[in-house]
Structure 1
Amino acid sequence: MSQNEFAPWNDSAAKPLIQFQNVTKQFGDFTAVDDLSIDIYEQEFFALLGPSGCGKTTMMRMLAGFEKPTGGTILLDGKDISPIPPNKRSVNMMFQSYALFPHLTVYDNIAFGLKRSDMPRDQIDDRVNKMLKLVQIEKFANRKPEQISGGQRQRVALARALAKAPKLLLLDEPLSALDKKLRQDTQFELMDIQEKTGTTFVIVTHDQEEAMTVASRVAVMNFGKLIQVDTPTQIYEAPNSAYVADFIGDVNIIEGNATKDGDKVSIAWAEGQPEIVGTPSQPVGEGRVSFIIRPEKITISSDKPTDRRNAVQGKVLDIAYLGNLSTYHVEMPNGIVIKAQAANQRRRDSLPFTWEDPVWLSWSDTAGVVLEG
């Protein structure tokens, strides 16, 4: 099933696996989670994303049973899980540190929880071997954790967490200890394993790229509240606030005053500059607005384009060369800096623009997002 077809949150008849109902968690005077309600569905790969201290780990610890809500209810499969101790929940957690037993082999680490359950002994061997195969570490079964790499330890921890076939697997920054290349490869493996097992995954991360890669939906959090919960595409293309836009990827945020222009708005943003024409996706009133546009939606050229109403001139202040593309920081006459990206089709020594070059930036009427306030 592709992520495009999988959208139970749009089906009014779909029953959520997890329901947070007006959940609050306080530690003394500090409110970590603030009157939060959300539904998470079976087989979702759901990401909790936000800066340190936003409440995402507290949400996960309440699901695992390590913390109890101060107020509100958490339901798993329609049942209040607050009274159920962590070891009795159909929930498993994979910790950031992996928490493997150093004195046990890979095989015995995976078998540990099964041996303490009521699973018949003859089925344990079969289950462990299935898990070893699932995460592709069969040949390391008899090694100890210190005899394998960080990426392999991460797979052992994943296999151990999945061994008891939980309804829900919680992943706390599971890839943070891996280097970037291995982390990217492992993201796709995690998605593959999640799809094969059909287990609901909830991942906590502060890595925007990771959340956008693996998740069916992303919840962007701040100060214990959900700011936006949506698919990665919607979060990126249609952020509901400047906070979300700024938190996910690179962005230009230009503030100004809007006046209606048919189904569009004209935004006065700087003296002596032409007004920006934007197309709001939802009605906005006249007055203060934020115009949000991604650098890759902006075209950079040496000549003024004749086919676009949105065209401003400035000079190249800085260039970030990223191999496949370059980000140009272009300073407007009033000092505002706008970032534009262009693909590098030529070698670096022949980039089309360099520092101090006068350039034109242009974009279509629908390239940006217009938000009130």
Structure 2
Amino acid sequence: MAQTVFAPWDDPTQRPLIQFKGVTKRFGEFVAIDNLTQDIYEKEFFALLGPSGCGKTTMMRMLAGFENPTEGQILLAGQDMAHVPPNQRAVNMMFQSYALFPHLTVWENIAFGLKRQKMPRHDLDERVDEMLRLTRLSKFAKRKPHQISGGQRQRVALARSLARAPKLLLLDEPLGALDKKLRQDTQFELMDIQEKTGTTFVIVTHDQEEAMTVASRVAVMDEGSIIQVATPANIYEAPNSVYVADFIGDVNIIEGAATRTAEGYDIAWAEGQPPFHAKTPVVLGNGGPAYLAIRPEKISISAEKPDDAGNTVRGRIIDIAYLGNISTYHVEIPGGTMIKAQSANTRRLSRRSFTWEDEVWLSWTDTAGIVLER
């Protein structure tokens, strides 16, 4: 049976769970969020991604009710949140510090919010046990936070946040304190738990790999605005601007002048050199520079000039970064432009084909590059 793709944002009959409508947030003269409109749907794992100071945490704090918009509206399930205090919203927030009570056991930490809600004892026991099972913490129930690992503390904070069954869970850099390997494992656990509970998650992160791994959609932010919102695959393969292409993953950006062709554009990039070709449905505005964005893994490197590639250029290897499974070659092409090309390390190091100062050919297909105008 074919699996249905989760994409409520493409379905006009779906009503968003969260709506930002023309939201601006100022702190004195500083504009933290600038006239932002964005929908987030139920059961989404939505990532706010951007550099420090881009406004992502301010967006989250407004959702939680810790800040109010200066202008515009934030709706949750159709209700304007303007005068709803944080403790009366169906929203929970999980902080980077986890903020666990050190003197309480894991079980008591998870039960804390439910006790304050005056949940009947039988229901409370059942709910805490369910959360312990969900986060695989049952055997640690009687331990204190200092007796468990960082990854387990992170799961306790998650279990406590989910215990009250919020419509929306906000996660502020939730994996920032974990080491790389544990972070990667925990990302998959987060996705699994989000899927099992069906809770809408909004995560704030500056780690693009994390956003690309966990999110159903990623919003790339800069200076209080959302530059692009799309699925991780579309953000990577079809960025809408040089900023997004450059922010997500490794990329080569070649500046030049674009001339329209039958199938796309020719990009003149250096005097006396043949133009690069790009097949694209994108239509650029007239005049001004154009940019060709090509991911390093889409560029082949060879000793001989390939016959069948859409684009070829000669260059010299200046640097090599060996990353275990792949090597990245920094190749200088005419005019002094540096191009990064990647190849998988299927052979032992001693049998590698290329080394520093080698003259090589770089090549890529006409559809590998993306043409952008800003």
TM-score range, shorter chain: over 0.9
1:169 matched residue in structure 2? 169
* Cα drift, residue 364 of structure 1: 0.5
Separation of aligned partners in 2, 1:88 and 1:104: 25
Partner Cα separation in structure 2 for residue 45 and residue 100 of structure 1? 24
Provide the rounded CA distance (Å) in 1 between the counterparts of 2:72 and 2:53: 20
Equivalent-residue separation in structure 2 for 1:21 and 1:257 (angstroms)? 38
Deviation at 1:285, TM superposition (A): 4.1
* Pair 1:11 & 2:11 matched: yes
List per-residue Cα deviations over 1:306-361 (Å, max 9, x = no partner): 11231000000000101111000000131110000001111122221100000000
Q: Residue in 2 aligned with 1:337?
A: 338
1:356 aligned partner: 357
Structure 2 CA distance for aligned equivalents of residues 326 and 344 of structure 1: 7
Structure 1 Cα separation of the partners of residues 324 and 281 of structure 2: 34
Instruction: State the AA in 2 paired with 1:351.
Output: R
Quote the residue 2:275 is aligned against: 275
Q: 1:95 to 1:252 in 2, by over 3 A?
A: same
Structure 1 CA distance, aligned partners of 2:243 and 2:195?
31
Q: Secondary structure at the match of 2:336?
A: coil
> CA separation of 1:66/1:33 partners in 2, compared to 1, >3 Å: closer, same or farther?
same
Q: 1:326 — aligned with what?
A: 327
Structure 1 portions without partners, runs of 5+: none
Q: Percent identity?
A: 71
* CA–CA separation in structure 2 for the residues paired with 1:339 and 1:172: 33
- Counterpart for residue 296 of structure 2: 295
Q: Which whole-Å CA distance do the structure 1 matches of 2:159 and 2:355 have between them?
A: 51
Shift of 1:272: 2.4
In structure 1, distance between residues paired with 2:285 and 2:64: 44
Counterpart of 1:205, as a letter, is T
**Alpha-carbon distance in structure 1 between the residues aligned to 2:357 and 2:210:** 36
Q: Which residue of the partner structure matches residue 57 of structure 2? A: 57
Measured after TM superposition, the shift of residue 67 of structure 1 is 0.6
Indicate the SS of the match to 1:334. helix
Residues 264 and 281 of structure 2 are in contact (CA less than 8 Å); yes or no, is this contact kept in structure 1? no
Helix, strand or coil at the partner of 2:330: strand
| Corresponding letter in the other structure for 2:174 | P
Q: Deviations over 1:258-310 (max 9, x none)?
A: 11121221110011222000122321245421000000000100000111231
- Call closer, same or farther: CA 1:128–1:93 in 2, change over 3 Å: same
Q: Which position in structure 2 is the counterpart of 1:212? A: 212
Other-structure match for 1:43: 43
Q: What is the identity, as a one-letter code, of the residue corresponding to 2:224?
A: G
Report if aligned partners of 1:19, 1:76 keep a CA contact under 8 Å in 2: yes
User: C-alpha distance in 1, partners of 2:111/2:152?
Assistant: 17
User: Deviation of residue 109 (structure 1)?
Assistant: 0.3
Alpha-carbon distance change, 254 to 272 in structure 1, aligned in 2, over 3 angstroms = same
CA RMSD of aligned residues (A): 1.3
Measured at CA, do residues 4 and 237 of structure 1 come closer, stay the same or move farther in structure 2, by a change above 3 Å?
Answer: farther
Paired residues of 2:270 and 2:334 also in contact (CA < 8 A): no
Unaligned runs of 5+ residues in structure 2 are none
Q: Do the aligned residues in 2 keep the contact of 1:257 with 1:286 (CA within 8 Å)?
A: no
1:1-373 residue pairs with structure 2 within 5 A? 5-287=5-287, 288-373=289-374
Query: What SS does structure 1 have at the residue aligned with 2:210?
Result: helix
In structure 1, distance between residues paired with 2:122 and 2:101 = 23
Q: C-alpha distance in 1, partners of 2:281/2:176?
A: 36
Name the SS for the 2:46 alignment partner: strand
Closer/same/farther in 2, CA of residues 112 and 94 from structure 1, 3 Å limit: same
Moved more, 275-284 or 51-60: 275-284
Give the whole-Å Cα distance in 1 for the aligned partners of 2:206 and 2:172.
10
> TM-score when scaled to structure 2?
0.98
Cα distance in 1 for partners of 2:189, 2:3 equals: 15
Match of 1:302, as an amino acid? A
C-alpha offsets along residues 102-155 of structure 1, whole Å, 9 cap, x if unaligned?
111100000000000042121101100000000001111111111111001000
**Conserved in 1, the CA contact under 8 Å of 2:264 and 2:279?**
yes
Q: Taking structure 1 as reference, are residues 229 and 304 closer, same or farther at Cα in structure 2, changes over 3 Å only? A: same
State how far apart, in whole Å, the 1-side matches of 2:4 and 2:235 are.
15
Task: Give the Cα–Cα distance (whole angstroms) in 2 for the partners of residues 3 and 200 of structure 1.
Answer: 21
CA shift, 1:3, in A, is: 9.2
- After superposition, the Cα gap between the structure-2 partners of 1:206 and 1:2, relative to the gap in structure 1 and judged at 3 Å, is farther
**Helix, strand or coil for the counterpart of 2:211?**
helix
How many angstroms apart in 2 are the aligned matches of 1:2 and 1:289? 41
1:185/1:31 Cα in 2 relative to 1: closer, same or farther (>3 Å)? same
SS at match of 1:267: strand
Q: Is the 8 A contact 1:3 1:216 kept in 2?
A: no
